Amino acid sequence: MNEIVQNIIIWAPGILFAITLHEWAHGRVATWLGDPTPRLMGRLTLNPIPHIDLAWTIVIPGVMLLASLMTTGTPFVFGGAKPVPIDPRYFLRPGRSYRMSMFWVSAAGPVMNLLLALGCALLFRLVTRLPEFFMVPLANMLVAAIHMNVLLAVFNLLPIPPLDGGRMLGAVLPRPFDRHLDALGRYGMPIVLVLAFSGVMSLVMVPAMSVLNRFYLSMAGLH
């Protein structure tokens, strides 16, 4: 039980901040593109609390983390935060591409996770210079955060609406294919669950995650 608690302490910060900053990035880019909604709704903050969704940020990831640690010892977790509210009508202004605005707002979350993974890798090099008492737990947290950010980025880049990858694909597809893809959004989460439990999702995600994890761990000096 102590080992499980230690693993939760190691993985929880990475999960919380990966999810929180993912949503913050969506809101920040939407604001840059002229939509004041995230700011007005109090979502342009690095304080995790306004971004937390009880079910998707705490309960579901917590149960999955606990279950995976008790069975395999290898955490497999996904979850989410409260989606940052945006009003796409602000992207309809003259001289601005609505579709590309939606593309960049959607891409902001996964890009943030990839940047966070890079930041954790570079910070790892500094942490290893600390005394062992401080270095070991911080190093473990940073490695866990790298894995979590890679997982969240790859998962959200799957081209299935309402995931970010689905919205990005819809923004670049020619009409009417974009509308057909958007119509799949109502079935998006059931499709994701079917792919996850059938093992198809792993066939797609694991190779991409392996490549990215090797890259970031090499940046951390671990390979």
Tokens of 83: 């989606």
3-state DSSP helix/strand/coil percent for the chain, to nearest 5?
75, 0, 25
Options 10, 15, 19, 23, the catalytic residue: 23
Distance CA 126, CA 122 (A): 7
Selection from 166, 191, 153 nearest residue 102 by Cα: 166
Angle at Cα 108 formed by Cα 104 and Cα 109, nearest 5°?
140
Give the residue among 38, 37, 44, 35 at the shortest CA–CA distance from 93: 35
Residue from 118, 145, 114, 110 nearest 29 by CA: 110
Q: Which residues of 186-213 are buried (b: 16+ CB within 10 A; e: fewer)?
A: eeeeebbeebeeeeebeeebeeebeebb
CA distance 145 to 151: 10
Distance between CA atoms of 53 and 126, rounded to whole angstroms?
33
Total residues belonging to the chain: 223
Confirm whether 23 is a catalytic residue: yes
Q: Catalytic positions, please?
A: 23
